[in-house]
Structure 1
């Protein structure tokens, strides 16, 4: 029997990267999945976001695990769209037990931070978490409880120069988690965050990020960026893999963590202690 056998999980940002990894692993462990993603680019984000084909591939991977999946193209910035998406998924799959509010973006502003870049970051990485939870919590209550895992960052636990907007959003996610955990505890709903260091996905594996990490070089490569990524961490590694974050999400979602709530769990190679 899987660790989340017979449960239904909601994953945002599910089309690729961490979100796909979380969705597929939850399916491997017995859960049906509501997979949501924007499948469109955002102007202030310096790399391409997911596509509808990416989301379809996530669905195929879940179905290979003999689990049911409902995919919805929706923007976490849109409260009404998220409510409709979650309601649709629950209507098709019957209940909701697990929420992985994973959708997120990254950008950097080493100079002056403009208002639109700030707004997009807060709207996706913080407001999007709120909209997801607002839509999901009533369904968790009706199911008699559940687990909510919000994706923050090591930048939710410490400051970083050059991306104040990202740091502010990720700090906000932890603050929201701590308050929501108190508000829903009597309903047997647990709320936690995972706080990764750099994770090797398309969010960091792109030319824009290489330039951010190595502004001293004209055309930096991923190998050049690894030097800076490694400098962030206490362990001598440049990044962690998606599976490392998925393992933490699965643990917090499972009954193995049934008495763990209001915790900000670093999966950070020691970066917050350096």
Structure 2
């Protein structure tokens, strides 16, 4: 039980990678706080985890708003006493493929507000609790788009490159408080976010061919990496970007 006696706050916890991470942390003895803009979905997952005899709390939270992140942190501390691990998983995909000059300001702000500012808000709000607990770990869900670019995705790529930079900067600022900050960089992952595209056999084959491993990842595979970085087994890993991409970046 790697996380017995620990409390974990996960954003974007109601589905996909966040859901897989929540289930995995709970199975390893952690008390999980499920923060998501979809409050009912987070509550449903909390009930599922509780039915297994594990501790879970649902928290409705829009990470674009700093005050919402502060309230989420307070709720977790009131329920579990502290925060030992923060997983910044909330994110939005690149819904719009277009040339940079055609991006509207609203489209740009939308992806930045969630993918980059949302992580900053949560780190800032949770740091006092992590410090009070004597330290802990922060794991950001970045992307292969944190390391490489693609045409027609300026907003998404910029937001994820920014998250990689935030990971490194926060790691240097917080390690003196015994708080390790790292990130996972998933490739294409089989989540509800891309389910509509996977319904098309040709599109599914295209996605699978993108990775040298010959398939997409499952959310649980990314969750395994998140748990590793949050665990004591990664005690000397600081500011790392761990690729979980089936070989996309190295190809």
State which of 239, 242, 246 in structure 2 corresponds to 1:265: 242
Report if the CA contact (8 A) 1:205-1:222 is conserved: no
Counterpart CA distance in 2 for 1:29 and 1:267 is 21
Q: Which blocks of at least 5 consecutive residues in structure 2 are unaligned?
A: none
Q: Does 1:203 align with 2:196?
A: no
Q: 1:263 to 1:108 in 2, by over 3 A?
A: same
Say what the alpha-carbon RMSD is for the aligned residues.
Answer: 1.2
Higher mean displacement: 67-76 or 126-135: 67-76
Aligned counterparts, 1:67-146, within 5 A: 67-106=54-93, 107-111=95-99, 112-146=102-136
Q: Which blocks of at least 5 consecutive residues in structure 1 are unaligned?
A: 40-51, 211-220
1:223 corresponds to which residue?
201
1:242-265 deviation per Cα after TM superposition (whole angstroms, max 9, x unaligned) = 000000011111111111111000
Report if the CA contact (8 A) 1:234-1:273 is conserved: no
State which of 241, 246, 271 in structure 1 corresponds to 2:218: 241
Q: Does 1:159 align with 2:149?
A: yes
Q: CA deviation at 1:234?
A: 1.8
Higher mean displacement: 102-111 or 21-30: 102-111
Report if the CA contact (8 A) 1:181-1:190 is conserved: yes
1:44 corresponds to which residue?
none
Q: CA deviation at 1:109?
A: 2.1
Q: CA deviation at 1:28?
A: 0.5
Q: Does 1:56 align with 2:39?
A: no
1:96-141 deviation per Cα after TM superposition (whole angstroms, max 9, x unaligned) = 1001100011112234222211110000000000001111111000
2:210 corresponds to which residue?
232
Q: TM-score, normalised by structure 1?
A: 0.87
Equivalent position SS for 1:72: strand
* Misfit runs of 4+, over 3 Å: none
Equivalent position SS for 2:32: strand
Counterpart CA distance in 2 for 1:224 and 1:129 is 34
1:42 corresponds to which residue?
none
